[in-house]
Chains A and B, each alone.
Chain A
Amino acid sequence: MNAQFDVIKKKRIQMTIILLVMLLIVFGAKVLTDFSFMEGLASIPGTVFWMFTNLIPTAEAMENFPKVMERLWETIILSILATTTAGIFALFFALFGSKTTKINGLLALLSRVIASVFRNIPVVAWALVLVISFGHNVVTGYFALFFTTFGFLVRAFMETIDEASTDSVEALNATGATYFQMVFRGVIPDTLPQMLSWVFFMIDTNIRSATLVGLLTGTGIGYIFDLYYKRLDYPTVGLITLSIIVVVIVIELISNKVRRMIL
């Protein structure tokens, strides 16, 4: 009874200390950076007002719409292409890296390390590095998206496999099935919906990243965003932003529908 009381008391003290430390960090940062909460809050209405007066697409901006659509289409195709091809490679690396389906320890470690390296270099860094070797074109964007997507999907697929198919893998191995029989008739049917949902997630993440990557490589929607932004043509910038939002929402709706169909 007494010991239990002490545990509760100890936890309460711990929580109080953690809270105090967090408050201290916040105020320390505020003092160091000269940031004022009140000023920040006060500027919000002004910003919103500016956005509504400048970023609303005007009739003039709408004239650029076909051009925007063309670039947007390029970006959509690029991110779908990068995601799906990365997904295929990721599937094999995930199979070799997963605890359930690994062939041997060395190969598992190797595929985990490779995926981790690709994942932990940000897409912007990839774009900047690749632009040196490939120049300002679509291929650079493709590889930048491909590498980060590949790294992320290996990790996501590996966890999906370990979570969903440990049992059926055991059963199929016990029947004397070969490795690829086990993978194609056991692991993939078990994990397909989850894996597809990760692929869709990456497609719409990549459309957003492609905007940034395009800005650096001079391709796709990112390029014309940069172009009109530097021309101070804010209504067109607003139009571009809105169309990106619409595309991301549409892809999310499609992915939900597809997922429900195959589940």
Chain B
Amino acid sequence: MPTILAEKTEVYEKKGKNKKEFQNSKTILKIKDLYKSYNIKTPVLSMIEMELKQGEFVSIIGPSGAGKSTLLRCINRMIEPSEGSIVFDETEITSLSKKALRGERAKIGMVFQHYNLVSRLTVFENVLHGRFGYKSTLKGILSIFTEEEKQLALEILDKLGMKEFAYKRCDQLSGGQKQRVGIARALVQQPKLLLCDEPIASLDPNSSKVIMDHLKEICETMGITVLVNLHQVDVAVKYSDRIIGLNKGRVVFEGLPKELSNYAIQDIYGSELEDLIVE
């Protein structure tokens, strides 16, 4: 096991030579003292602190039930945080009114494990749903989109290799294709931050790689900050600029992929390395 990890670190360092430095980049997201609990006894999240820079690719790893999904959903307030501050793009999210929150959500794309598409609509329609945050209710209901918006949707689909499927219904697609539609819907929002909740957990290894490569490319070429929840440690090590380890609602590790030692992995998952499938 340890040798495998050592190899991974090497791969990373080779890549790391042309790695960007984020110290001087703009801060996109700053979370301070975030706390979430459904009952007083057991907080789901406590004392979460993190700062994401523009164009950074950050992974959150941790065992099931560690609070990864809750953390992600607190950022766009799909789940209401109990306490703490979340500053996204210089706006305090936690105190926003419903209407203002809608405007901020439009700037945050979200990708889901189960794709969450409207399966009886076409790919094109689903992608255009990403524009709702910028539209009046009536225009949204009547599906009135501008020429530029349609063009943008097609361009993004093309970029993800899905243009030929644009007029297919989503229930006819494979898992990997559905996830690419999910990503396209998020990108059409022209977001500054992309939240991905276990984007590859339901996919085969092949599609997983396609999806992760797309996410990485989006991050590098479009300068969009990407925050991904992952189950696979090796994937996190391979793709991330930075890794955050979560256990029982607390950040137990934060650092570069090469700093993720076996000891740190044991700490995050709370068990011996021999008992884990890290590959």
Contact = CB atoms under 8 A, between A and B. Distances in A.
Interface of A: 165, 167-168, 170-182, 184-186, 189-190, 192-193
10 contacts: A167-B112, A167-B115, A171-B182, A174-B76, A175-B131, A176-B133, A178-B102, A189-B118, A189-B121, A190-B120
Interface string B101-113: 1111110111010
B223 interface: no
B4 interface: no
A192 B76 CA distance: 29
B91 interface: no
Contact of A168 (B104, B117, B130): B117
Contacts of B143: 185
A171 B135 contact: no
B116 interface: yes
A167 B103 contact: no
Interface of B: 76, 78, 101-106, 108-110, 112, 114-121, 125, 129-135, 137, 140-141, 143, 182, 185-186, 189
B141 A171 contact: no
Going nearest first, the 5 A-B pairs with the smallest beta carbon separation are A176-B133, A181-B140, A177-B132, A171-B116, A176-B105
A181 B135 contact: yes
Given A171-B185, A181-B137, A189 B78 contact: no
Give the one of A167, A170, A171 with max B CB within 10 A.
A171
A176 B118 contact: no
Contact of A174 (B78, B115, B120): B78
A172 to B, nearest CB: 6
Contacts of B78: 170, 173-174
Nearest to B105: A176
Nearest to B118: A168
Contacts of A168: 116-119
B120 A189 contact: yes
Contact of A177 (B117, B119, B129): B129
B42 to A, nearest CB: 23
Given A172-B132, A176-B132, A186-B118, A181 B141 contact: yes
A167 B78 CA distance: 12
Given A170-B116, A176-B104, 9 more contacts: A167-B117, A171-B112, A171-B116, A173-B78, A173-B105, A174-B76, A175-B186, A176-B106, A181-B141
